[in-house]
A and B are shown apart, each in its own frame.
Chain A
Amino acid sequence: MREEAARVTASMVRLVGDFDVAEDVVQDAIVEALEHWPREGIPDAPAAWLLTVARRKGIDRLRREARHRQKIALLEAPPPMTTLPDDRLDLIFTCCHPALARDAQVALTLRSVLGLTTGEIARAFLVPEATLAQRIVRAKRKIVGAHIALRRPDVRELSDRLGEVLAVLYLVFNEGYLASGPDRASRRDLAEDAEWLTSLLVRLMPDEPEPLGLLALMRLHLARAAARFDERGRLVLLKDQDRSTWDRDRIADAVRLIERAGALRRTGPYQLQAAIAALHCEAASHDVTDWPQIVRLYDVLVGMTNGSAVVRLNRAIALGEVAGPEPALRAVSELASELDRYHLYHATRAELLRGLGRHDEAREADRRALELTDNPAERVLLEERIDR
C-alpha cells in the first residue's frame, strides 16, 4: 500500500499542483480502498484504482472552488490504464529542494513520499507533534509562496540536487541507526525507512552511481548492527565488535552494489564512504584491516568534500592505525577550532592521548565529549572511560 500510495500522491501533486489537496484526496481514496477491497478483492492495478478515485475526489473538491477550471480539465482527461507515470522522483526532489531548511526537507520527505503521519515523524525525532506539524506547514507555504516547481531538476542541476536528496536520506538513516536508549522500542525504525527510500531512488535512477553508493553504505552499517551493542545494551566500538555476528550475505550484497556503481565510472562521496566501510567489513579483524588503503580513500574524500573537518577527523583515526597516535594527534589538533563543539572530536583526542600514556589529558577530553552528547549509549561509554 505504501508504494502505491506514494505513486498516486506524486501523480496527484503534479496534476493539482497543491500538496495539501493531493494528500487529502489520496487519503480519502485509501479510506475507500480499505472499505471496498476486503469485500471485493484487491484490484489488478491497485495504483490505477486509487488514482481514479483520487482524481474523482479531486474534481469534486476543485469544482467547489470555481477558479480551478484548468486543473479540472487535467483530472478529467482519462489516465493511461496500463502504466502509471512515475512522478515520485519529482516529489522527492521537490521535498529536498535546497531552498527548504534541512529539517523541513526531512519532515516533508517522510510525510509525502513515505506517507508517515505527523505523529509518527514527531515521535521518531523526539519532537512535539505540534512543532513537526508547524514545520511541515511552513515548508509547504514556502513551496507555494516562493513558487518552487514540483518537478525534478535540469541535467545541469542534477548533481547538486541529488546531493541534497542523499544528504536527507543519510540524515534520516543516522537518526534511526544511532538511536538508542529506552525509547527505542516505541520509535519507528527510521534506518529501515531511509533504506527503503534509497532503494526506491536507486530503482528510479538506475544510471546514477551515488544512490547506489549510499544504499551500499547503509546496508554495510546494517550488516554490522548485531554487534553494536553488548548483552547489557552498551555500545561496542568497532575494534571490539564480534565480527562473527556480522551478516556476511548483506556485506556481499552491498559490495555488489559498490561494483555496480563503479562500473558507471563517476566516483562520489557516498561511493567512497561505502568503499571504506566495505574494507572494514571484509577484514577478519581490526588489526588486519587495510588501513593504508582506507587512508588513501579518505585523502580522496577530503578533496571531494572541500576539506570537510569531519572527514579529516575520520582520516586522522585511520592514520593513527598506520602511523601511530603521535601523527594522528597532530592531524586531529588542526581541527580544534572547527570541531570544538563536536563530541567525537574530543572522544578521538582522548583515545589518542591514552595511546600516548597521557591519561589525565585523555580524561579531560572525554569529559569535554560527555558535555557535548545526549546519546545515552555514548554517555555510558564515556563515563566508564573517565572512571577507569
Chain B
Amino acid sequence: MKYVLLLCDSDRSTYMHQTPAEAQKTFGAITAWWGEKAQRKVILGGEQLASPDKATTVRSVGGRSVVTDGPFIEAKESIGGYALVEVPDLDAAIALAKEWNGLLPGSTVEVRPLHEGEGM
C-alpha cells in the first residue's frame, strides 16, 4: 500500500535551535535513514522543500486566481518535505513516521494513503 508522509516542522522542531555541528549530525542521520529506506524500496520518492518563506500561494476565489506570498496555511507548522512510501499496512507507515519523529524531535508527520481507484 502506498502512502504519502507529509513531513512537517514547527517551532518545537529542535533542529531550528541546533549548532552547525549538531545540524550536520542530524542531516547525516536523515540522509542515512532515507538512503536505507530508498534502497529497500520502502521510500519510492520524496523531496525536501525550501523554507516556507519562499512559498507562493495561488488560490481560486470567485472564478479568479489570486496569487499571494507565503504558504497556504498561516500556522505554526509548515510542510518541510514529503515521502512517497510503499509498505504493507498503516502500522508500517506509522512506524516510519515514528522513526522520522526520532530523527527530528518536535516534527509532525501526516500519514495519508493515496486515492483509491484509477490514478490520474
Contact = CB atoms under 8 A, between A and B. Distances in A.
A147 B94 contact: no
A99 B111 CA distance: 10
A148 B88 CA distance: 10
Interface string A141-154: 00001111100011
Contacts of A154: 91
Contacts, number: 23
A149 B113 contact: no
B90 interface: yes
B116 interface: yes
B89 A145 contact: no
A101 to B, nearest CB: 15
Interface size classification for chain B: 10 to 19
Interface string A127-151: 0000000000000000001111100
A157 interface: yes
A97 B89 CA distance: 13
Interface in A339-362: none
B89 A147 contact: yes
Interface residues of A, number: 10
A147 B91 CA distance: 9
Interface string B88-120: 111100100000000000000001110010000
B116 A148 contact: no
B1 to A, nearest CB: 5
Contacts of A147: 1, 89-90, 113
A149 B88 contact: yes
Contacts of B111: 146
Contacts of B88: 149
Contacts of A157: 91
A145 B113 contact: yes
B118 to A, nearest CB: 16
A145 B116 contact: yes
B91 A153 contact: yes
Nearest to A150: B89
Interface in B55-100: 88-91, 94
B96 to A, nearest CB: 13
Interface in A146-171: 146-149, 153-154, 157
Contacts of A145: 113, 116
A238 B17 CA distance: 51
Contacts of A99: 90, 94
B89 A148 contact: yes
A148 B93 CA distance: 10
Nearest to A142: B90
Contacts of B94: 99
Interface string B1-18: 100000000000000000
A206 B61 CA distance: 60
Nearest to B89: A149
A146 B91 contact: no
A126 B94 CA distance: 34
A218 B97 CA distance: 35
A162 to B, nearest CB: 15
A145 B113 CA distance: 7
Contacts of B112: 146
Contacts of A153: 91
Contacts of A97: 90
A351 to B, nearest CB: 38
Interface of B: 1, 88-91, 94, 111-113, 116
23 contacts: A97-B90, A99-B90, A99-B94, A145-B113, A145-B116, A146-B90, A146-B111, A146-B112, A146-B113, A147-B1, A147-B89, A147-B90, A147-B113, A148-B89, A148-B90, A148-B91, A149-B88, A149-B89, A149-B90, A149-B91, A153-B91, A154-B91, A157-B91
The 3 lowest CB-CB distance pairs between A and B, nearest first, are: A149-B89, A147-B1, A147-B89
Given A99-B90, A146-B113, A149-B88, 5 more contacts: A97-B90, A146-B111, A146-B112, A147-B1, A148-B90
